[in-house]
Amino acid sequence: MQKFSAFSLARQAVGRHLGWRPQWRSVAPKPSYDIIIVGGGGHGLGAAYYLAKQHGLRNIAVVERGWLAGGNTARNTTIIRSNYLFEQSSSYYEHALKLWEGLSEELNYNVMFSQRGCLMVAHTVHDVQVFKRHVYANRLNGIDNEWLTPEETKAFCPPLNISPNIRYPVLGAALQRRAGTARHDAVAWGFARAASDLGVDIIENCEVTGIDRDPSGKVTGVQTTRGPIRAGKLGVSAAGHSSVVLAMAGIRLPLQVNPLQALVSEPVKPAFPCVVMSNTIHAYISQSDKGEMVIGAGTDSYVSYTQRGGLHIPAHTLEAICELVPDFRRLRMLRSWGGITDNTPDRSPITAKTSVPGLYVNCGWGTGGFKATPGAANLFAWTIARDEPHPINAPFTIERFRDGTLIDEAAAAAVAH
């Protein structure tokens, strides 16, 4: 792997940048591997990297039906935070946030992680009570979070409108200063590059069409559009399609798939210093390094695997954004897109072994998958390598829906962004 540094950039510049090699190897699938990861997004590529880096496993393949990061990894609004209510959730996301803080250095790849802070804006008395509860719970768990008055909120984010006369007046906000954003493509590319350097085979345009099992029920490999591949263990991290893949092994996951839309404006000079989220009006906004205003909405209410949604959803979101940030009313929208979210009944993920020996799953992240990328990948790798969960992801089993031990972030926050 070529190392990136100021010196390497200068050296390549002298050579007109003709000396750069491909960032990861393009290979044909081998007949067999010790471990196959299904899903070439941030979670899957990261799991392969940590399996190789931390657990010393090398005979690994990542199979992706399309191109790397062509799914939800590249179809989100890149918000990173750990201020979830319940201890199980906040511990998981805090684990991820701590990994984010050193990820660029570890991968020798700039993932453009920016800890600009995240404001969760309250508009009603109920919002104030809920967010203050979050603040107190986070502090008890050693996670930074603080309550701001409307004036303090305005001081932290000057473009916000805190007039009492708007439809949803700002009554205050919860602020996590360590939260922020990162560049989604760079995260996937950085993990792919580092994993490939450690010997992981990354196989694109390779769709899984079946899961092979021996008479005892143990996984023995997969059928793909590029032929059969044998494997001792199989990890599935395919977001909204995880239920489709696991159904091939006779496992029914408690997932509902809904579209989630986002859009960006034309680029402008730096004007918005942080991330602002409003659960009440289902809108969130930040400014990318290219200058675009990145705006996200709530999920569409219908079940669908399409990467698009109803026009009324972003229209409602933009109406709310124009009230919250009236300076942006004349911005033109540049493009919009949709992703598919895999939602569990309690809006908390599943990172666990399954009832099928040798089969593991990481799914159910809903709208919160990107922020958990390094943490989920790290803990998924642990679970696969050791055939047991790490203490952090131990509560996030499939069986909790049978046993009633839910981690109900949906009820706690009214929205799972």
Q: With cut-offs at 50, 70 and 90, classify the pLDDT of residue 412.
A: low
Quick one: average pLDDT of 350-361?
Answer: 98
Question: For residue range 236-251, what is the model confidence (pLDDT) as tens digits?
Answer: 999 989 999 999 999 9
The proportion of the chain whose per-residue pLDDT surpasses 70, expressed as a percent, equals 98
Q: With cut-offs at 50, 70 and 90, classify the pLDDT of residue 411.
A: low
Q: Helix, strand, coil proportions of the chain in percent (round to 5)?
A: 30, 25, 45
CATH architecture classification, 26-78+184-255+346-403: 3-Layer(bba) Sandwich (3.50)
Question: For residue range 166-175, what is the model confidence (pLDDT) as tens digits?
Answer: 999 999 999 9
Among residues 248, 205, 207, which one has the least CA distance to residue 359? 248
Contacts of 247 (CB under 8 A, 6+ apart): none
Quick one: average pLDDT of 232-238?
Answer: 97
SS3 assignment, position 7: helix
- What's the first-to-final CA gap in the chain, in angstroms? 36
Q: Kindly report the CATH number that applies to the domain delimited by 115-178+256-343.
A: 3.30.9.10
Radius of gyration of the chain (CA): 21
pLDDT at 272 (0 to 100): 97
Q: With cut-offs at 50, 70 and 90, classify the pLDDT of residue 414.
A: very low
Q: Which residues of 4-20 are buried (b: 16+ CB within 10 A; e: fewer)?
A: beeeeeeeeeeeeeeee
Question: For residue range 211-221, what is the model confidence (pLDDT) as tens digits?
Answer: 999 999 999 99
Cβ(222)–Cβ(33) under 8 Å? Answer: no
Domain ranges of the chain: 26-78+184-255+346-403, 115-178+256-343
Among residues 87, 88, 116, which one has the least CA distance to residue 100? 116
The Cα–Cα gap between 176 and 377 comes to 23
Question: For residue range 127-162, what is the model confidence (pLDDT) as tens digits?
Answer: 999 999 999 999 999 999 999 999 999 999 999 999
**Dihedral pair phi/psi, residue 269, rounded to 5°:** -65, 160
The pLDDT mean for the chain works out to: 94
pTM assigned to the model: 0.95
Beta bridge partners of 360: 235, 353
- The residue with tokens 């044909």 is 28
**Dihedral pair phi/psi, residue 334, rounded to 5°:** -90, -45
The proportion of the chain whose per-residue pLDDT surpasses 90, expressed as a percent, equals 87
Contacts of 389 (CB under 8 A, 6+ apart): 351, 352, 353, 379, 382, 383, 396, 397
Question: For residue range 289-334, what is the model confidence (pLDDT) as tens digits?
Answer: 999 999 998 888 889 888 888 888 999 999 999 999 999 999 999 9
Q: With cut-offs at 50, 70 and 90, classify the pLDDT of residue 417.
A: very low
Six-digit token string for 206 = 């390779």
